Amino acid sequence: MTKHVVRAYAAAAAVLVLFLAWAVISANPWATPEAKVDQRLTALNTREAALRREAVQVQRLVKRRETVYRIRLASRNRQIAQIEQAHQRDVAVARAAAARAYTAPSVSVVRLPAVTVTRTS
């Protein structure tokens, strides 16, 4: 055999060994020890669940309060509109009464001669 044939077989064998090692490692045939449960993670998950429940309750409360606020705001806006309409009626009545009660001042005619007299020279 020539040297280049030996090199080709060696390269093929190296690639074959590489792929076999890759397959064995990815298959993970050895047993892994059981992972211990971290108490901090358990407590963190419990706390997260409690916070989620509390957040849902808070959202319900906020929604309820917002609904009550909107109802009261609508009622207050209706009251304000009624008061403004009553005020506009009162203003219109007062203007009409003032217009009826208004009398124009009497005209005074002055028959005096003009203050400045221009003379021609």
Mean confidence (pLDDT) of the chain: 89
Confidence at residue 115, expressed as pLDDT on a 0 to 100 scale: 74
Span 4-38, pLDDT tens digits: 888 999 999 999 999 999 998 888 767 666 778 88
* CB within 8 Å of 10: residues ≥ 6 apart: none
Q: What is the pTM of this model?
A: 0.47
Q: Which amino acid is at 7?
A: R
Confidence at residue 48, expressed as pLDDT on a 0 to 100 scale: 98
Cβ-count burial of 115 within 10 angstroms (0-12 exposed, 13-18 middle, 19+ buried)? exposed
